[in-house]
Amino acid sequence: MFLEQLERASLHLGDLAPLLETLRHPKRVLIVDVPVRMDDGRLLHFEGYRAQHSLARGPGKGGVRFHPGVNLSEVIALAGLMTVKNAVIGVPFGGAKGGVRVDPRALSRSELERLVRRYTSEIGVMIGPDRDIPAPDVGTDERVMAWMMDTYSVNAGRTVTGVVTGKPLALGGSRGRREATGRGVFIAGRSAALHLGLAIKDARVAIQGLGNVGGAAAACFHTAGAKIVSVQTSAGAYFNPQGFDPSVLAGLRAGGRSVGEHPGTETLAADAFWDVESEFLIPAALENQIDEAVARRLKTRVVVEGANGPTTPAADDVLAGRGVQVIPDVLANAGGVLVSYFEWVQDTTSYYWSEDEVNSKLDRLMAEAFTAVWDAAQASKLSLRTAAFVLACRRVLQARELRGLYP
């Protein structure tokens, strides 16, 4: 998918098109063995990765994913998407990504900590606050980032808060970071609504995934007056014509209870989620959720990609033909990396901002990035995804051309 999106952008890069080959290959990839002593005394081995796709515009930046499906090609592709995402929003980072093939839910807390610390030590030769800065992703959180920061710091012989972002506040984290990706999804959706003449108030919203991204996006849309009419989680799909209250949903999930217990809720067949009518559909789970068949069924005006790679290129074409606007992942879910950049800046200066300051900067920069992509799409009659890739590739390739080739 990533390579196909590069090909679509290549037709609009002009003199920079011959340099595109540099973006078809990662700069470097590390595969590591992660041995972990389990609580019962067994020694198990897990495979881990860290990929740096491009460092032309600055140090690598990208999350660490713990999931049974993690593999090398996925990590490389996600690193490439991070290169594009960072360039689209204009932060001075390149693209990177990491992961371990493991189900973190199957580990005890002590086993997970040992896994994190060994993985961090193994990739320590690649990461650093001016080299490559990991962050949370699927299956990881601020506790994992705290262990990563501590492990790197112990090995470095000094406290290095800026080696990771998404940390707890007490260790140099940024206010607003936890909700940043979901808040950015809302800002992208609101920006699209302004350009399309849609009202947010009373707009119907369907959300796949109620994790950190989907939950925060739901709360922002709800606060703005929209109705969350349908949600899908790993446990099933649900419909509520009067709208879900995100705070009630959060309470139910925190208590281990079903979303179906929300008042006025109807349980749907999992596949029926795609048939619910809405103004905004937010896939905020995993990749490859919307294929050609699903794209033909959707009854929505705007798809706002909270997850990475949830829509296939073929589905993109179907949605474009049906007049459904897609706000691509490299723009829509960039709020997290934008506030990660803020966290990195705050760690570097040892001066920390209020949550209002963080959210204000996030709102302004996300809205500016959306407008730049929208204007580029309108000027060249491109989809928002292709326009975002063209804009990002130009920025990365211009930096690559100006730096030259050494030796």
Residue-level pLDDT at 270: 86
For residue 92, the one-letter residue type is P
- Count each helix (H run) and each strand (E run) in the chain, helices first: 13, 12
Four-point Cα dihedral 366, 367, 372, 375, nearest 10:
140
Task: Give Cβ neighbours of residue 75 (< 8 Å, ≥ 6 apart).
Answer: 29, 49, 50, 51, 65, 97, 98, 99
Element (H, E) at 278: none
Two domains, one topology: 26-172 and 178-332:
yes
Q: Could you give the C-alpha distances from 175 to 180, 300, 362, in angstroms and in order?
A: 9, 33, 12
> Distance (Å, rounded) from C-alpha 9 to C-alpha 23?
12
For helices 212-223 and 246-254, angle between their N-to-C axes, nearest 10 degrees? 150
CB 391 within 8 A of CB 87: yes
**Any idea how long the chain is?**
407
Q: Is 97 a catalytic residue?
A: yes
Give the pair of three-digit tokens for residue 236: 């099933």
> Distance (Å, rounded) from C-alpha 376 to C-alpha 184?
20
**CATH architecture for residues 26-172:** 3-Layer(aba) Sandwich (3.40)
> Distance (Å, rounded) from C-alpha 135 to C-alpha 150?
14
Residue-level pLDDT at 286: 81
Q: 367-404: b or e for each residue (b if 16 or more CB lie within 10 Å)?
A: eebbebbbebbeeeebbbbbbbbbbbbbbbbebbeeee
CB 290 within 8 A of CB 303: yes
Residue-level pLDDT at 287: 84
Q: What is the pLDDT along the chain (407 residues), one digit of tens a residue?
A: 899 999 999 999 999 999 999 999 999 999 999 999 999 999 999 999 999 999 999 999 999 999 999 999 999 999 999 999 999 999 999 999 999 999 999 999 999 999 999 999 999 999 999 999 999 998 999 999 999 999 999 999 999 999 999 999 999 999 999 999 999 999 999 999 999 999 999 999 999 999 889 999 999 999 999 999 999 998 899 999 999 999 999 999 888 899 999 999 999 998 999 999 999 999 998 888 999 999 999 999 999 999 988 999 999 999 999 999 999 999 999 999 999 999 999 999 999 999 999 999 999 999 999 999 999 999 999 999 999 999 999 999 999 999 999 98
Task: Give Cβ neighbours of residue 108 (< 8 Å, ≥ 6 apart).
Answer: 39
Which of 309, 328, 305, 370 lies closest to 90 in space, CA to CA? Answer: 370
Strands 132-136 and 266-268: what pairing?
A: unpaired
**Superfamily for domain range 178-332:** NAD(P)-binding Rossmann-like Domain (3.40.50.720)
Query: Among residues 61, 85, 97, 167, which one is catalytic?
Result: 97
> Distance (Å, rounded) from C-alpha 223 to C-alpha 219?
6
| Per-domain residue ranges of the chain | 26-172, 178-332
46 bridge partner residues: 34
Q: Where are the beta strands (DSSP E) in 108-235?
A: 132-136, 204-208, 227-233
Task: Give Cβ neighbours of residue 379 (< 8 Å, ≥ 6 apart).
Answer: none
Residue-level pLDDT at 292: 96
> Distance (Å, rounded) from C-alpha 140 to C-alpha 147?
11
